[in-house]
Chain A
């Protein structure tokens, strides 16, 4: 097990190196010159040269790349082109905001959607199941934006249940996070319940389910004891790899509800050519994705006795 984890962590090095090279190449060759964006079209050549050397852009490319690698290893991506703030502080702050926006709805949604899928699978083929399927497909066919605007208008504006948008630090943030949280859960319901339902129905056809019934197990026991544990394998794959993306926040949510999370930070960075922010976040996603993939594989071994990590 320990050997397996070490080996997997070592495999991550060439993968991340590849990602770093790709990211670096893209940012140095494609897109506008950040110095131009910062200073505008009428800047003096002296100002341009000065900013260029300040940002380290006058160095040869291979030295810039080595610099980037050093940043990745030390988790210190320098300072923002825009504000001059330290990125580590900026990321930590944004990640906290984004997580407080996305993590609670994510956990609630997993529990809620798995339970709902079990109920729907239990009543498979019935009118209730068909109604639920139709409802979820309908819900899935409507754009995210429509929900945001409708929920904002009805719940926040008409009924005044929540603030329409905004954010405050600390625990006072909670009222601002409830409505976007509800929307995140609501939007996840359609695709997730249908996905989990399919997983459960695949398992229901298995021979071991027939065996369990022939032993005299009642249907709830068949579902919760026999099927649920087998279904955890695909469910884990689906959910755990989504976790690193939670830190990114929900771009649309953060935009529409003016929540200063990572999503918001990233969109601003794209608009202003703030390359250090983008490079840092891209590397963060790559590292997070690799690590959570590894975590998923380790969890398999706990859920499925057939999986041996060695």
Chain B
């Protein structure tokens, strides 16, 4: 691979102590983010994608969440070995994050300007005037109309799409190397979604930011991603370039996800294919392959041990016994 790896997650294991016992929402996850590229992490709710991103931010709550093992290498340093202060300096400066809920992610009692300027206050030595000018420039960059006026306004005075633009402006304020976008468009109207995605793509090209895009929406993945990681119940079950995943999905789960998308070629009467069953509870995971209970191809071997990721090409890996065997045959 010619491209430079900026962020390397190795065998990350995150566990939570709950009242009902210990769960492991992230169970040995590895992936790489290349400089200037977009990695999409795809999966249903509860598959561990958000916990993975919060681990990178160093925001796994201390009381009951714990990173059990693995490494998160950024720029050659293991972030898991960083102190709280070191992590705090990195957060918002080198690694930034956008969240799913634009309605609640901004502080309701401070102005937009105040909240963007805070990032400069935390990470840059700047006078108030300079911070104001920088924040204003960021609002212009995310194409918010009347930026000067908006600086003085409060979050409730803005629409959802505008608030998400503010979040983007805030996260990119210090021109971070890595931007983690956790379902940034899920809560928005479809037309606004497209605008926000376009904006993010433009800014990424402009600034050369690497993006980790977390979503359950494969339509969005096709639009933004260079590389894709598919997660299921805490495991990565398939990874590859966006072409690998969409042209030739290997794992039955990925295939199922793609089949459940409506296609423009479909006749109107054709029903969408749903994946039967439900994501298993993390409190009660099946033995062996975690997908086997919902899988049409499942055989006896699937219940005995968990399949490892196996290479199908230089860029493409999947963890499925049946596919591997069929491929070898």
A interface residue numbers (CB < 8 A to B): 124-125, 206-208, 210-218, 226, 229-230, 303-306
B interface residue numbers (CB < 8 A to A): 57, 59, 63, 88-93, 96-97, 99, 101, 104-111, 118-119, 122-123, 154, 156, 167, 170-171
CB within 8 A of B118: which of A217, A230, A304? A217
**Contact: A214 with B59, CB < 8 Å?**
yes
Q: Hey, which chain B residues are within 8 Å of A304, CB to CB?
A: 108-109
**Contact: B119 with A216, CB < 8 Å?**
yes
Complexed CA–CA distance, A211 and B123 (Å)? 15
Complexed CA–CA distance, A122 and B104 (Å)? 22
Q: Hey, which chain B residues are within 8 Å of A218, CB to CB?
A: 88
Q: Hey, which chain A residues are within 8 Å of B156, CB to CB?
A: 305-306
**Contacts A216-B90, A218-B88; A305 near B170 (Cβ below 8 A):** no
20 further A-B pairs in the complex, CB-CB below 8 A; given A125-B63, A213-B91, A230-B108: A206-B104, A208-B104, A208-B105, A210-B99, A211-B167, A212-B107, A214-B57, A214-B92, A214-B99, A214-B171, A215-B92, A215-B96, A215-B118, A216-B122, A217-B88, A304-B109, A305-B111, A305-B156, A306-B108, A306-B154
22 CB < 8 A contacts A-B: A124-B63, A125-B63, A207-B99, A208-B106, A208-B107, A211-B167, A211-B170, A213-B91, A214-B59, A214-B91, A214-B96, A214-B99, A215-B122, A215-B170, A216-B92, A216-B93, A216-B123, A217-B92, A217-B118, A217-B122, A226-B110, A230-B108
What is the distance, in angstroms, from A142's C-beta to the closest C-beta of chain B? 30
What is the distance, in angstroms, from B93's C-beta to the closest C-beta of chain A? 6
**Contact: A216 with B104, CB < 8 Å?**
no
Q: Hey, which chain B residues are within 8 Å of A229, CB to CB?
A: 109-110
**Contact: A211 with B108, CB < 8 Å?**
no
Residue on B nearest A215 in the bound complex, by CB: B92
CB within 8 A of A207: which of B89, B101, B118? B101
**Contact: A215 with B109, CB < 8 Å?**
no
Complexed CA–CA distance, A125 and B156 (Å)? 33
What is the distance, in angstroms, from A219's C-beta to the closest C-beta of chain B? 9
What is the distance, in angstroms, from B49's C-beta to the closest C-beta of chain A? 16
**Contact: A305 with B108, CB < 8 Å?**
yes
Complexed CA–CA distance, A125 and B170 (Å)? 31
Q: Hey, which chain A residues are within 8 Å of B91, CB to CB?
A: 213-216
Complexed CA–CA distance, A213 and B110 (Å)? 16
What is the distance, in angstroms, from B240's C-beta to the closest C-beta of chain A? 29
CB within 8 A of A210: which of B92, B105, B111, B119? B105
Q: Hey, which chain A residues are within 8 Å of B171, CB to CB?
A: 214
Q: Hey, which chain B residues are within 8 Å of A125, CB to CB?
A: 63
Complexed CA–CA distance, A304 and B59 (Å)? 28
What is the distance, in angstroms, from B63's C-beta to the closest C-beta of chain A? 4
Complexed CA–CA distance, A229 and B107 (Å)? 10
Q: Hey, which chain B residues are within 8 Å of A207, CB to CB?
A: 99, 101, 104-105
**Contact: A216 with B63, CB < 8 Å?**
no
**Contacts A216-B92, A306-B154, A306-B156; A211 near B106 (Cβ below 8 A):** yes
Complexed CA–CA distance, A230 and B108 (Å)? 8
Residue on B nearest A204 in the bound complex, by CB: B61
Complexed CA–CA distance, A212 and B107 (Å)? 8
Complexed CA–CA distance, A243 and B110 (Å)? 28
Which of A125, A208, A212 has the most chain B CB atoms inside 10 A of its CB?
A208
Q: Hey, which chain B residues are within 8 Å of A217, CB to CB?
A: 88, 92, 118, 122
Q: Hey, which chain A residues are within 8 Å of B123, CB to CB?
A: 216
**Contact: A214 with B122, CB < 8 Å?**
no
Q: Hey, which chain A residues are within 8 Å of B105, CB to CB?
A: 207-208, 210-211
Complexed CA–CA distance, A214 and B92 (Å)? 6
What is the distance, in angstroms, from B166's C-beta to the closest C-beta of chain A? 11
Complexed CA–CA distance, A305 and B109 (Å)? 6
Complexed CA–CA distance, A214 and B58 (Å)? 9
Residue on A nearest B100 in the bound complex, by CB: A207
**Contact: A214 with B97, CB < 8 Å?**
yes
What is the distance, in angstroms, from A64's C-beta to the closest C-beta of chain B? 51
**Contact: B109 with A213, CB < 8 Å?**
no
Q: Hey, which chain B residues are within 8 Å of A210, CB to CB?
A: 59, 99, 105
Q: Hey, which chain A residues are within 8 Å of B118, CB to CB?
A: 212, 215, 217
What is the distance, in angstroms, from B265's C-beta to the closest C-beta of chain A? 40
Complexed CA–CA distance, A11 and B119 (Å)? 46
Complexed CA–CA distance, A213 and B97 (Å)? 10
Q: Hey, which chain B residues are within 8 Å of A213, CB to CB?
A: 59, 91
Complexed CA–CA distance, A206 and B155 (Å)? 15
Which of B63, B109, B110, B156 has the most chain A CB atoms inside 10 A of its CB?
B109
